[in-house]
Amino acid sequence: MSVLSREYFHNEAAAFEHVESIMWPEGPVCPHCGCVGRVYKLEGVYSKPSKKNPEGVERHGLKKCGECRKQFTVRIGTIFEESHIPLHKWLQAIHLMCSSKKGISSNQLHRVLEITLKSAWFLSHRIREAMRSGDLGPMGGNGKIVEADETYFGKKSGPAPTVTTSGRPFTKSGKTGPAHKRAVLGLVERGGMVRTFHVEKANKDNVAHLVSENVSKESVLMTDESRLYETVGASFVDHQTTKHSAKEYVRYEGDMVIHSNTIENYFSIFKRGMKGVYQHCAEKHLHRYLAEFDFRYNNRIGLGVDDSARSLNALFGARGKRLTYNQTGM
């Protein structure tokens, strides 16, 4: 039997019951006053009639608080709030995005879910917001290896620079021309989690700050021969490098395997998804796509998380997050 044959993917009442069991494991909680216990279920309530639905639409999962007397559903305070898309279609979209290793485009969601492209695009961004973990604790630790590397994807907005950072003009031959690409810094604990950052510029200061803030000093840092990591690498227990320019990608020193292939492999999946599935991404939204790929990597089969468990983790992340269509400072 297909996983998509589960009732909550097709029945709106079952979808609400499924989400409620996750959001309210100990019973309904009023989002307005925080009341627990004195919450009543309202049945047979319909929305106002419309041209599309002359008899109105049944309001599944509607509750009323016995304290503040306000009505609510499990959607309030989550990424589902104020959405007109049926909840069972939200669950389908979450499963599709979580089970597709390189993602699923808004155009594909638009066709599969039979919603407008604009709705599918906004829905996918809301789900990416639920996938965002916001972890602040340091990665690695005593005896653990953390790999660091930077990559570049997509053209930056605005005009390309005409001089190098040292003030020297770029040559016309193109050999030292401006790349003018978006920079991404990646950190991965070998056998563990990944954390990526979209940075304005991959220079020593930015890289050193992010590596220092996110990696435990007791870790072994492994990078390529880039000079960006020379200074910050000295602050760790050990800093090992491989020389890619000499075609050295892995080196063995006793029991230690020195390479940065893990983060390189992650970047490979990220770029294949961005180029082959999404194809275009505005720079202001790049951090959301990074959060999506981070989430799937951090909830992968290798760590014992299958597609269903991954979707469940995304639902857990839907709580307490709102993403409105019009955002300031995006």
Q: pLDDT tens digits, residue range 16-56?
A: 999 999 999 999 999 999 999 899 999 989 988 888 888 88
Q: What is the mean pLDDT of the chain?
A: 91
Per-residue pLDDT reduced to its tens digit, 17-28: 999 999 999 999
The arithmetic mean of pLDDT across residues 268-280, rounded, is 95
Residue 320's pLDDT band, with cuts at 50, 70 and 90, is confident
pLDDT at residue 136, as a whole number: 78
Per-residue pLDDT at 330: 44
Domains parsed from the chain with CATH numbers: 145-283 (3.30.420)
pLDDT for 3 equals 86
SS3 per-residue string spanning the chain: CCHHHCHHHCCHHHHHHHHHHHHCCCCCECCCCCCECCEEECCCCECCCCCCCCCCCECCCCEEECCCCCEECCCCCECCCCCCCCHHHHHHHHHHHHHCCCCCCHHHHHHHHCCCHHHHHHHHHHHHHHHCCCCCCCECCCCCEEEEEEEEEEECCCCCCCECCCCCECCCCCCCCCCCEEEEEEEEECCCCEEEEEECCCCHHHHHHHHHHHECCCCEEEEECCHHHHHHHCCCCEEEEECHHHCCCCEEECCEEECCHHHHHHHHHHHHHHHHHHCCCCHHHHHHHHHHHHHHHHCCHHHCCCHHHHHHHHHHCCECCCCCCCCCCC
pLDDT confidence of 4, banded at 50, 70, 90?
confident
Mean pLDDT over residues 103-108, rounded?
96
pLDDT at residue 175 tops 90: no
Q: What is the pTM of this model?
A: 0.90
- The pLDDT of residue 301 is 95
Average pLDDT over residues 94-104: 96
